[in-house]
Amino acid sequence: MAASSKQLLLAFAFVFGALPAVAAEEDAAVVAPSVHPKAVVKCPGVTGVPMTSDAEQTLPLRLVGTLSCGSSVSILSDSEGYTAQVRTGDGKEGYVALMYLAPGSDSPASSAAAALPSAATPNNGVVRWQAGAPGCDEFLSHGRHVESITASGITVQVSLQDSGWKYRANVAVSNQTGSMVDVQPGIISLDELQPLLRNLPATDVNKIAHTSNHQVLWTQADAVPSPSAIANPNAADRLAHRSNPANDYMNPHMTLTSGRPATFERMESVNIEAIALKPTALASEKNTAGVMWFARDERAHELSLRVPVGDMVFDFSFAFEDHGK
């Protein structure tokens, strides 16, 4: 029987000592090349995502480039740490925080969805909370109603309570901008809008810490979103269908039960200065949270809490349902 062409090829290869090379070529023809999984860059409140040369992304960031929202990258390695090593379409390689990567898809619809970040748009440097608006969220944190705004990589969350003596504001800030931002309690303001229009000045935390008034930690009423900032007055329905869900950055150490005479001993053990919001230069990927106290007007119905962070002012609208009646 005549030898096949493949058998002849192998015979010649054996004679000339080239059999390993032929075998390698044959293996290469049947083994599929390694394919790296794809991911889509998502932008939770930022306009671009930093790609660095180091996996730790230490400060100052050593940038390889900035990835645009909705772009596709190949995952080269993922050690289940903070970052993954990726390669862009133009061949650049670097490390990206996993929080900015979503499972990839080549479909145009998937890329288009990823390219729409949920972020509020500043108007003359001010971003206002509005129920259901892009970048705006609301949720319950240990029974307290929290309003949240994300804009330009910064998330600010606040809740407001009436102690019967002072208004108490819980404030949290998360910085995902890639650079440092200033958080200064001294420029945070609370204004009464209804029935009077006036500023309610903040009370120095040192005075709060040395007061013997246990009402500093009481909660007689929890503020809710102002009617002017919501289209759907049904809070349960809004909370069940959150269109822009955000993480809860409120400090768990500020979870203080509603004050009543029976809780005096527990309240006296709370370190007021420790839970107070402090001025800080907040690094990227870091959060801060704390409490502030403001003058109270028992007639106040609608209020505006304004928190300047970076070059923006985050404006939150609140109301006390049982006030002003």
Task: With H, G, I as helix, E, B as strand and everything else as coil, classify residue 18.
Answer: coil
Return the domain boundaries, the chain: 38-114, 126-319
Residue 28 phi, psi dihedral angles, 5° rounding: -65, -30
Rg of the chain on CA atoms, in Å: 28
Residues 6+ apart with CB under 8 A from 45: 117, 118, 119, 135, 150, 151, 152, 153, 154, 155, 176
Query: Is the CB of residue 276 less than 8 Å from the CB of residue 182?
Result: no
Strands 181-183 and 280-282: antiparallel
> What b/e readout covers 192-223, taking b as 16+ CB neighbours within 10 angstroms?
bbbeeeeebebbebeebeeeeebbbbbbebbb
Query: Is the CB of residue 256 less than 8 Å from the CB of residue 142?
Result: no
Q: What is the DSSP letter of 6?
A: H
In SS3 terms, 190-230 reads as EEEEECCCEEECEECHHHHHCCCCHHHHCCCEECEECHHHC
Residue 128: the pLDDT is 96
Four-way CATH pick for 38-114: 1.10.3470.10, 2.30.30.40, 3.40.50.300, 3.40.309.10: 2.30.30.40
Query: Is the CB of residue 173 less than 8 Å from the CB of residue 289?
Result: yes
* Residues in the chain, overall count: 325
Q: What is the DSSP letter of 123?
A: B
Residue 253: the pLDDT is 63
Residue 280: the pLDDT is 96
Residue 34: the pLDDT is 53
Residue 49 tokens, joined: 């995502």
pLDDT in tens, the chain (325 residues): 444 444 433 443 443 444 444 444 444 444 444 577 888 887 665 667 888 888 888 777 788 888 877 788 888 887 656 788 899 888 889 988 887 787 765 444 343 333 334 689 899 999 999 998 999 999 988 778 999 999 999 999 999 999 889 999 999 999 999 899 999 999 999 999 999 999 999 999 988 888 766 677 888 889 999 998 988 778 888 888 887 888 889 876 665 544 444 444 445 567 888 889 999 999 999 999 999 999 999 889 899 999 999 999 999 999 997 654 4
Query: Is the CB of residue 293 less than 8 Å from the CB of residue 202?
Result: yes
Q: Where would I find the H helices in the chain?
A: 5-15, 19-30, 108-114, 205-209, 235-240, 264-268, 272-275
